[in-house]
């Protein structure tokens, strides 16, 4: 077999496989949980019916999911499993009592989820859709409602709506089982009649209710009046008691306010005193801290000063002491040399001074002898002084004393004298000088112990002159 033929065969096989895959893909059907696939065709299957009988059918069911259809053999249909809502209204139906009655009801039905129910519904509703199922179910429900209405009176239906709904559901169940349907809920919405029978039934109850309401209203009004009177009386009593309590409460409040004010004043005074104490304590602490800071600053300053002193000492040692030591050694050497020279000179001068001292001592001795002799002669001369000589000597000294007293006044640049009733100020200055001179004998007496005034009186008095012998 040639390569070309082989490639053709391989291509044909691939195409066939692709066609098979496409075919099977197109034959696969999927369905949601609210639908059932009814696959008809193919071989027959045995199913069990709700009554227990078994029979063969030419279809299969697939509730939800997906399935693969045999090409050219099987077909598929969809059966809805959704909830179907029914609104049913019956025309006038005679009740058990012969009263024509109309009823409105609402219900929810769907196809059962079990396989027997699906088989029943598939045989009866396949292809009708939801609308077809709704029409069939509504017709059946309306018929069953008519049956139940004919077995009950208007009063029973009016007062027992739940019982009516239960009877309708029980009547529907056999028929719905044969159709594969289930009733999820059913309720009677309303009943009415064209003859006014239901309205007539309600009138006695309405009248009785009105009567009972009027009686109850009268009783209520009576009780209200009584209770309002009692309430007003109790209110008045309560008001008076409340006013008394208010007055007492006001008095207690005023007393408590006064007590609280006293307590507040005490607390305020304590707070003020505590504040002052705390302020004083804080100020003391601040002062202590400031003192500590100052002490630390002083210590740091002292340390800095010590360091500066050490630095200066080292600087002094390097710049002054060492040169001074060198200078000291130089000066010491020079001093030793100078000392030797001075000692030599001193020894020479000492010999010269010794000779000079001896000569000076002799000279002083000679001068002292001369002065002593002169003093002796002078004393003898004083003894021989008469009154005129003493007076003359005293008078010679007075101008010198006056000059010495007035000399400080000559150094004053300006003198301001405020005159009085004792003459001119200038005469007072001269008078003060005279007074000072008059006090000189007292001054001499206090300093030297010599009573100059007495001496002069003794020397110048006539008695002393008479007593002296004539020369």
pLDDT at 1: 59
Question: pLDDT band for position 470 (50/70/90)?
Answer: very low
Question: pLDDT band for position 386 (50/70/90)?
Answer: low
Q: Which residues contact 444 (CB under 8 A, 6 or more apart)?
A: 450, 452
pLDDT at 446: 66
For residue 39, tell me if it sits in a domain: yes
Does 396 share its domain with 433? Answer: yes
pLDDT at 462 over 70: no
Token duo for residue 331: 């000066």
Does 104 share its domain with 185? Answer: yes
Weakest-pLDDT range from 7-11, 201-205, 351-355: 201-205
> Which of 162, 178, 195 represents a domain boundary (last residue)?
195
For residue 256, tell me if it sits in a domain: no
For residue 352, tell me if it sits in a domain: no
Does 411 share its domain with 429? Answer: yes
Does 137 share its domain with 90? Answer: yes
Does 19 share its domain with 96? Answer: no
> Which of 168, 195, 222 represents a domain boundary (last residue)?
195
Does 99 share its domain with 169? Answer: yes
For residue 264, tell me if it sits in a domain: no
pLDDT at 318: 72
For residue 115, tell me if it sits in a domain: yes
* Residues 312/306, Cβ–Cβ less than 8 Å: no
Does 133 share its domain with 33? Answer: no
Q: Are strands 93-94 and 75-80 parallel, antiparallel or unpaired?
A: unpaired
Q: How many domains does the chain have?
A: 3
How far is 101 from 157, CA to CA, in rounded Å? Answer: 10
How far is 405 from 362, CA to CA, in rounded Å? Answer: 43
For residue 166, tell me if it sits in a domain: yes
The mean pLDDT value for 56-79 works out to 74
CATH of the domain at 93: 3.30.479.30
Does 93 share its domain with 178? Answer: yes
User: What pTM did the predictor assign?
Assistant: 0.41
What tens digit of pLDDT does each residue of 326-358 get?
777 777 777 777 777 777 777 777 777 777 777
Query: Which range in 9-13, 42-46, 388-392 is most confidently predicted, on average pLDDT?
Result: 9-13
pLDDT at 426: 58
Domain housing 447:
386-465
Does 126 share its domain with 185? Answer: yes
Q: At 189, which helix (H) or strand (E)?
A: strand 181-192
Does 105 share its domain with 157? Answer: yes
Does 91 share its domain with 109? Answer: yes
For residue 149, tell me if it sits in a domain: yes
CA angle 332, 336, 338 (to 5 degrees): 110
333-334-335-340 Cα dihedral, nearest 10 degrees: 90
For residue 92, tell me if it sits in a domain: yes
Helices 129-150 and 115-125: angle between axes, nearest 10 degrees: 100
> Which of 195, 212, 243 represents a domain boundary (last residue)?
195
% of residues, the chain, pLDDT over 90? 8
Does 191 share its domain with 89? Answer: yes
């Amino acid at each position: 077999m040639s390569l070309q033929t082989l490639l053709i065969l391989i291509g044909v096989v691939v195409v066939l496989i692709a066609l098979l895959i496409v075919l099977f893909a197109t034959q696969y059907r999927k369905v949601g949980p609210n639908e059932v696939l009814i696959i008809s065709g193919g071989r027959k299957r045995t199913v069990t019916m709700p009554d227990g009988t078994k029979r063969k059918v030419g279809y299969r069911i697939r509730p939800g999911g997906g399935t693969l259809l045999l090409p050219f053999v099987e077909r598929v249909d969809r059966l809805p499993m959704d909830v179907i809502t029914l609104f049913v209204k019956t025309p006038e139906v005679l009740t058990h009592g012969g009263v024509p009655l109309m009823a409105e009801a609402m219900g929810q039905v769907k196809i059962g989820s079990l396989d027997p129910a699906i088989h029943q519904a598939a045989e009866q509703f396949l292809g009708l859709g939801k609308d077809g199922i709704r029409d069939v179910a509504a017709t059946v429900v309306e018929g069953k409602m008519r049956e139940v209405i004919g077995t009950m009176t208007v009063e029973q239906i009016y007062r027992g709506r739940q019982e009516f709904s239960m009877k309708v559901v029980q009547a529907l169940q056999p028929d719905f089982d044969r159709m594969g349907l289930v009733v999820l809920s059913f309720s009677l919405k309303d009943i009415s009649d064209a003859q006014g029978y239901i309205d007539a039934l309600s009138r006695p109850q309405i009248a009785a209710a009105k009567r009972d309401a009027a009686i109850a209203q009268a009783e209520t009004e009576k009780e209200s009046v009584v209770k309002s009177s009692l309430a007003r009386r109790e209110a008045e009593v309560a008001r008076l008691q409340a006013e008394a309590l208010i007055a007492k409460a006001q008095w207690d409040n005023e007393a408590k306010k006064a007590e609280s004010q006293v307590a507040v004043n005490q607390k305020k005074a304590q707070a003020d005193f505590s504040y002052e104490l705390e302020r004083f304590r804080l100020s003391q602490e601040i002062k202590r801290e400031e003192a500590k800071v100052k002490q630390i600053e002083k210590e740091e300053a002292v340390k800095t000063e010590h360091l500066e002193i050490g630095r200066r000492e080292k600087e002094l040692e390097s710049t002054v002491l060492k040169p001074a030591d060198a200078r000291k050694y130089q000066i010491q050497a020079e001093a030793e040399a100078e000392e030797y020279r001075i000692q030599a000179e001193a020894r020479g001068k000492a010999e010269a001074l010794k000779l000079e001292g001896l000569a000076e001592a002799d000279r002083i001795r000679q001068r002292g002898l001369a002065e002593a002799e002169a003093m002796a002669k002078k004393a003898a001369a004083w003894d021989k002084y008469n009154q005129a000589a003493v007076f003359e000597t005293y008078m010679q000294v007075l101008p010198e004393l006056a000059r010495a007293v007035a000399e400080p006044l000559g150094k004053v640049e300006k003198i301001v004298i405020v005159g009085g009733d004792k003459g001119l100020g200038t005469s007072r200055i001269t008078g003060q000088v005279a007074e000072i001179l008059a006090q000189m004998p007292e001054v001499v007496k206090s300093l030297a112990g010599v009573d100059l005034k007495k001496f002069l009186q003794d020397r110048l008095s006539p008695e002393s002159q008479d007593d002296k012998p004539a020369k």
